[in-house]
């Protein structure tokens, strides 16, 4: 018999997921930017955009569900 996990994706949960994941991604990308600035000088804008987009996307997919459903 398979057990199913019923997760209700309401508007508040999705907002919390996107908000927490985006904030986490922005903080992480700022850390990567400061590290690159310290070690290599100013990185090119394409690298900044790519790293920021990857960090925000990863944050929404990983930290978002933890923030939205971890306290329930």
H helices within the chain, ranges in order? 11-40, 45-69
Q: What domain range is 39 assigned to? A: 11-69
- Domain count across the chain: 1
- The pLDDT of residue 1: 46
Give the model's pLDDT for residue 10: 81
Taking the model in full, what pTM does it have?
Answer: 0.79
Q: Report if residue 6 sits inside a domain.
A: no
Judged by DSSP in three states, 70 sits in coil
Q: List average pLDDT for each run of 10 residues in the chain, which is 72 residues long.
A: 61 89 95 91 88 94 86 61
Is residue 21 assigned to a domain? Answer: yes
Say which DSSP state 1 is in: -
41 φ, ψ to 5°? Answer: 95, -170
Q: Provide the pLDDT for residue 7.
A: 66
Give residue 28's Cα distance to chain centre: 8
Query: Could you tell me if residue 38 is inside a domain?
Result: yes
Distance separating alpha carbons of residues 1 and 52, to the nearest angstrom: 43
What pLDDT, on the 0 to 100 scale, is given for residue 40?
A: 86
Please enumerate in sequence order all residues whose Cβ is within 8 A of that of 18, keeping only pairs 6 or more positions apart, or say none: 60, 64
pLDDT of amino acid 27: 96
Residue 1 located in a structural domain: no
**52 assigned to some structural domain:** yes
């Amino acid at each position: 018999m398979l057990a199913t996990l019923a997760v209700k994706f309401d508007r508040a949960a999705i907002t919390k997921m996107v908000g927490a994941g985006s904030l986490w991604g922005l903080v992480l990308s700022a850390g990567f930017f400061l590290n690159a600035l310290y070690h290599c000088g100013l990185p090119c804008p394409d690298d900044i955009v790519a790293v920021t987009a990857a960090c925000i996307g990863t944050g929404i997919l990983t930290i978002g569900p933890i923030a939205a459903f971890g306290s329930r």
